[in-house]
Structure 1
Amino acid sequence: MKLAFTKMHGCGNNYIYFNCFDQTVPDPESLSIKLSEPHFGIGGDGIILISPSDKADAQMRIFNADGSEGKMCGNGIRCVGKYLYDNGMTNGRTTITIDTLSGVKTLELTVKDGKMQSARVDMGAAILAPREIPVDMDGESVISAPIVVDEKVYHMTCVSMGNPHCVIFQKEDVDDLDLTRIGPKFEHHPLFPERVNTEFVNVLPDGSLKMRVWERGSGETWACGTGSCATGVAACLNGFANKNEDIVVHLRGGDLTIRYTDETVFMTGAATTVFKGEIEI
């Protein structure tokens, strides 16, 4: 059986995309594990299925490199928007909707020479209630709360953007972190019943943020859209940034711009098509 695919990335967060309007992808959990492997597969952070929806222009389903299904991917949804527009599936409209496991999201596309260059995504309201994130703590929110990992005390701010995030602001340069060692210990910490994505963040002198991320199910990735949103929200909650102002987040794969309002969180960034191909499974 042959499947057509498109390799795309948003700030280096790279997935393998399948158009399921005209083909069926069997057992996507196992396929994601197989194809994400860089030496024997295509290589990537997982696979994303683009399918018809009765409530939006399309539906996206995300499968991480370990086969687990994700609820939302901020970089992935921009790539889905680009795929739909560039392939003539939006009838030229630059405002489109995508159905995800975290609800329907609206994208405003910026187009040049007939191709989508970037998108502003309405990511929805940030969730701060611990039980809804979820994190096993009491209270109305978790802001700069202590957590002990590997015998060291960190201070975390927890946010859900449709998936759980633990944001750690630190003075030590995040570039010096041994993320492959510490990341899994946060991901599987008993405070997080559904595991967690963890962002390690420096506040730079110009007010922008430098971030590295350990994603549950994928490990370190070059960017995380929902993680950047959570980081922008956490920066406001901790007094490092202001609501209703653009917050630039520097990731290993590029920059995203976040704006946190009382109603929602906006994320703006680019999306890139790398190559197209066909694989026999």
Structure 2
Amino acid sequence: MRVEFTKMHGLGNDFVVIDDRADRLPAFTPERVRMLADRHVGIGCDQFILLKPSADATCRMVIHNADGGEVEACGNASRAVGLLLGEPATLQTLGGTIATRPDSAGISVDMGEPRLGWDEIPLAYAMDTLAMPLGWDELEQPVAVNVGNPHAIFFVPDCDAVPLEQLGPQIEHDAVFPERVNVNVATVVGRETIRLRVWERGVGLTRACGTGACATAVAAMRRGLTEREVTVILPGGPLRIGWGADNRITMTGPATVSFRGSFAWDDFA
């Protein structure tokens, strides 16, 4: 059996997308996902995306990180799937149902409402999520935000100077985050601009993270550092993030098809 896929990316955050809305394929185990995601022996990707049928949405989007683990949300992948579907759509995810639509700047995604309570992140125990009384070396007092998946955001003078490849895995696996966490280091450039780098849970350093951009924008707005609409500049490029009066987050940015192909099922057993 051969399986068709589309290789896509959003600002360099790349995906293998498989459309199984006909529900014909066998289950993808974490081991098979890891092999497909491996950049040496597989296709290579940050996230593996499987589209399945849904009774309540255009489709169900199953998201696996490169380590094989299933996760709740992926903003860049949501834009990629929105591009693939080619029309306004709703996507059912573990983090909730989100809506996508084509936009002059790419694909716009209604990411829903942020979750700000300590038990919604979740954290291991109660604390102030706007200034967590914790620190890891030079990174201190993060903001915690859940936008379908958990994020810790640190505001620093220069996000490029932070050794995120060392601190990222320490924070990701800290016991205070029972479901692990995505680690964001951000520098506020002005009232409408933020620079951001992200250590993504189950992936590592990434060129772009849509949910990280959303969480960081919300964190900056909660602290009064920016306006309610900002441009978040990641290593892969910019995303426009708005947090409306209705408490819903909107993310707008590009998505791209890299190539299409197929693989033999038995080659990744």
- TM range, smaller chain: over 0.9
**Which one-letter code corresponds to 1:142 in the other structure?**
T
Question: Would you say 1:136 and 2:120 are equivalent positions?
Answer: no
User: After the TM superposition, which residues 216-231 of structure 1 pair with which residues of structure 2 at under 5 Å, given as runs?
Assistant: 216-231=201-216
**Residue 279 to residue 57, structure 1, CA distance change in 2 (3 Å):** same
**Which one-letter code corresponds to 1:106 in the other structure?**
A
* Partner Cα separation in structure 2 for residue 166 and residue 223 of structure 1: 16
TM value normalised by structure 2: 0.93
Task: Answer yes or no: is the 8 Å Cα contact 2:63–2:70 preserved in 1.
Answer: yes
Match of residue 278, structure 1, among 254, 262, 266: 262
1:26 maps to what in 2?
A: 27
2:100 maps to what in 1?
A: 107
Among the aligned pairs, what percent are the same residue? 38
Match of residue 264, structure 1, among 248, 260, 265: 248
2:4 maps to what in 1?
A: 4
1:98 maps to what in 2?
A: 91
* Partner Cα separation in structure 2 for residue 158 and residue 274 of structure 1: 34
Question: Would you say 1:148 and 2:138 are equivalent positions?
Answer: no
Q: Which runs of 4+ in 1 moved over 6 A?
A: none
1:194-226 CA-partner distances (Å, limit 9, x unpaired): 100010001114640000001111111111111
1:225-244 CA-partner distances (Å, limit 9, x unpaired): 1111000000011111123x
* Partner Cα separation in structure 2 for residue 35 and residue 28 of structure 1: 11
**Which one-letter code corresponds to 1:135 in the other structure?**
L
The farther-off stretch of 34-43 and 203-212 is 203-212
1:197 maps to what in 2?
A: 182
1:112-153 CA-partner distances (Å, limit 9, x unpaired): xxxxx71111111110000111013425x411223222x445
* Partner Cα separation in structure 2 for residue 205 and residue 264 of structure 1: 22
Long gaps (5+) in structure 1: 86-93, 112-116
Does the residue aligned with 2:140 lie in a helix, a strand or coil?
A: strand
**Which one-letter code corresponds to 1:269 in the other structure?**
G
Measured on the aligned residues, the alpha-carbon RMSD in Å equals: 1.6
* Partner Cα separation in structure 2 for residue 153 and residue 202 of structure 1: 13
Task: Answer yes or no: is the 8 Å Cα contact 1:21–1:51 preserved in 2.
Answer: yes
1:229-266 CA-partner distances (Å, limit 9, x unpaired): 000000011111123xx210001111111001242111
Match of residue 165, structure 1, among 151, 170, 173: 151
Task: Answer yes or no: is the 8 Å Cα contact 2:191–2:230 preserved in 1.
Answer: no
- Number of equivalenced pairs: 263
Report how far residue 25 of structure 1 moved: 4.6
Task: Answer yes or no: is the 8 Å Cα contact 1:146–1:153 preserved in 2.
Answer: no
Task: Answer yes or no: is the 8 Å Cα contact 1:32–1:46 preserved in 2.
Answer: no
Question: Would you say 1:53 and 2:54 are equivalent positions?
Answer: yes
Report how far residue 52 of structure 1 moved: 1.4
1:62-110 CA-partner distances (Å, limit 9, x unpaired): 011111001110000111111112xxxxxxxx32211111121111213
**Which one-letter code corresponds to 1:17 in the other structure?**
V
**Residue 155 to residue 55, structure 1, CA distance change in 2 (3 Å):** same
2:199 maps to what in 1?
A: 214
Question: Would you say 1:253 and 2:254 are equivalent positions?
Answer: no
* Partner Cα separation in structure 1 for residue 237 and residue 68 of structure 2: 26
TM value normalised by structure 1: 0.89
* Partner Cα separation in structure 2 for residue 147 and residue 25 of structure 1: 44
* Partner Cα separation in structure 2 for residue 27 and residue 122 of structure 1: 28
Does the residue aligned with 1:17 lie in a helix, a strand or coil?
A: strand
Task: Answer yes or no: is the 8 Å Cα contact 1:35–1:46 preserved in 2.
Answer: no
Task: Answer yes or no: is the 8 Å Cα contact 1:36–1:47 preserved in 2.
Answer: yes
**Residue 153 to residue 83, structure 1, CA distance change in 2 (3 Å):** closer
